[in-house]
């Protein structure tokens, strides 16, 4: 496994692989790798000849007052994991390599249809940061395939939309959320939970599953379902940002097609997000 921090060195290696007729999958991450990331790497290995994992804690997707400085950075452990996960290349650039002219007032990518509601309303600018860094990574690596987790459902749709709008020849693959035994979605931010909060956290997934179950049984009063779920989360000590039932393709109003129930809620210092997809 090679570890590269410079764009020129990465491009040389990728060109060699391309000249040898090999396809390339990119798994963008912010490090602090767990079994959720392993599922992404395994999917990349199925889909392409070469797997590149990027590790980059992207400053522009953290909104003022968020946890950019505290975000868990575990580079040595990540490298150890990736070498046992049979990754071909780890790209771990410094901030200056990705943003050579600084962070602010530069070209940035926005996906207006999808970036200013749900998480976008509570984290203004977050999805522009994600869309910009993913665009940069796509331009740097030029992968055939890119792998993202369905846990960040709105992010996945933002990335699919930017790939369509900017004509990237990249096939975006979403991978189902990996969960702890009790249902809690794996996330780096779970580390912020105290032991008691960790016990309470499983209620988020249970609540979403409860809504999905009611919809399966033909309940269609979505507003009441969302309100009841919000109230039960508050009773359990959460501070919900939203619980919302949406059309799974575009996060608009739910209709007769696939739906997705999404939630974001604070528990102590951790902002947890999760979703359940309801296929029709
Ligand atoms: O999902 C993440 O870890 C990040 O948002 C991503 C896609 C790596 C962009 O920084």
Q: Which residues are the active-site residues?
A: 37
Q: Is the pLDDT of residue 159 over 90?
A: yes
The best mutation among 98, 130, 177, 271 to test binding of ligand 1, ranked by most ligand atoms within 8 Å of the C-beta, falls on 130
Residue nearest to atom 7 of ligand 1 (CA): 28
The best mutation among 30, 34, 160, 273 to test binding of ligand 1, ranked by most ligand atoms within 8 Å of the C-beta, falls on 30
C-beta 275 within 6 A of ligand 1: no
Give the model confidence (pLDDT) of 35-87 as tens digits.
Answer: 999 999 999 999 999 999 999 999 999 999 999 999 999 999 999 999 999 99
- Sheet hosting strand 50-55, strand order edge to edge: 2-4, 89-91, 50-55, 24-29, 145-149, 171-175
Q: What is the mean pLDDT of residues 258-263?
A: 98
Q: Distance between CA atoms of 80 and 72, rounded to whole angstroms?
A: 16
Q: What is the mean pLDDT of residues 213-233?
A: 97
* CA dihedral angle for residue 93, residue 95, residue 97, residue 99, rounded to 10 degrees: 140
| pTM, 2 dp | 0.97
Q: Is the pLDDT of residue 227 over 90?
A: yes
Residue intervals of the chain classified under CATH 3.40.50.620 are 2-175
Residue intervals of the chain classified under CATH 3.30.1300.10 are 188-278
In the reported structure, the alpha carbon of residue 159 is separated from the centroid of ligand 1 by a whole-number distance in angstroms of 10
Q: Distance between CA atoms of 225 and 210, rounded to whole angstroms?
A: 9
Q: What is the mean pLDDT of residues 201-213?
A: 98
Instruction: Identify the three-state secondary structure at position 275.
Output: strand
Instruction: Report the atom number in ligand 1 closest to the C-alpha of 57.
Output: 10
In the reported structure, the alpha carbon of residue 78 is separated from the centroid of ligand 1 by a whole-number distance in angstroms of 15
Q: Is the pLDDT of residue 105 over 90?
A: no
Give the model confidence (pLDDT) of 15-38 as tens digits.
Answer: 999 999 999 999 999 999 999 999
In the reported structure, the alpha carbon of residue 1 is separated from the centroid of ligand 1 by a whole-number distance in angstroms of 22
Q: Which residues of 179-206 are buried (b: 16+ CB within 10 A; e: fewer)?
A: beeebbbbbbbbebbeeebbebbbbbbe
Exposed (0-12), middle (13-18) or buried (19+): which is 29, by Cβ within 10 Å? buried
In the reported structure, the alpha carbon of residue 202 is separated from the centroid of ligand 1 by a whole-number distance in angstroms of 23
Share of the chain above pLDDT 70, in %: 100
Residue nearest to atom 3 of ligand 1 (CA): 29
Residue nearest to atom 2 of ligand 1 (CA): 29
Mean pLDDT of all residues in the chain?
97
In the reported structure, the alpha carbon of residue 29 is separated from the centroid of ligand 1 by a whole-number distance in angstroms of 5
C-beta 152 within 6 A of ligand 1: yes
Q: What is the mean pLDDT of residues 134-148?
A: 98
CATH of domain 2-175: 3.40.50.620
**134 pLDDT tier (thresholds 50, 70, 90):** very high
184 and 202 Cβ atoms separated by less than 8 Å:
yes
Q: Distance between CA atoms of 44 and 38, rounded to whole angstroms?
A: 10
Name the region of 15 (left: φ>0; alpha: ψ -120 to 50; beta: rest): alpha
Q: Return the pLDDT at 85.
A: 96
Q: Return the pLDDT at 58.
A: 98
C-beta 127 within 6 A of ligand 1: no
Would you identify the CATH topology of the domain 188-278?
Answer: 3.30.1300
């Amino acid at each position: 496994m090679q570890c590269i921090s410079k764009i020129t060195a990465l491009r040389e290696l990728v060109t060699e692989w391309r000249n040898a007729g090999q396809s390339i999958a990119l798994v963008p991450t912010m490090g602090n790798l767990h079994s959720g990331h392993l599922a992404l790497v395994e999917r990349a290995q199925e889909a392409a000849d070469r797997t590149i994992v990027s590790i980059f804690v992207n400053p522009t997707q953290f909104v003022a007052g968020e946890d950019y400085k505290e975000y868990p950075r575990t580079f040595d452990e990540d490298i150890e994991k990736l070498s046992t996960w049979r990754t071909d290349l780890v790209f771990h650039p410094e901030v200056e390599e990705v943003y050579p002219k600084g962070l602010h007032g530069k070209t940035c990518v926005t996906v207006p249809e999808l970036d200013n509601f749900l998480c976008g309303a509570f984290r203004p600018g977050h999805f522009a940061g994600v869309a910009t860094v993913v665009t940069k990574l796509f331009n740097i690596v030029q992968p055939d395939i890119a792998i993202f987790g369905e846990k960040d459902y709105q992010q996945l749709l933002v990335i699919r939309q930017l790939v369509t709008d900017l004509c990237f020849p990249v096939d975006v693959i979403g991978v189902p959320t990996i969960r702890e035994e009790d249902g809690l979605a794996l996330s780096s931010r779970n580390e912020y939970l105290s032991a008691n909060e960790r016990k309470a956290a499983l209620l988020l997934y249970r609540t979403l599953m409860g809504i999905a179950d009611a919809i399966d049984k033909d309940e269609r009063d979505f507003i009441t379902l969302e309100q009841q779920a919000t109230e039960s989360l508050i009773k359990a000590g959460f501070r919900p940002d939203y619980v919302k039932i949406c059309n799974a393709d575009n996060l608009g109003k739910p209709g007769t097609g696939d739906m997705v129930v999404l939630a974001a809620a604070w528990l102590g210092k951790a902002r947890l997000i999760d979703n359940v997809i309801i296929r029709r």
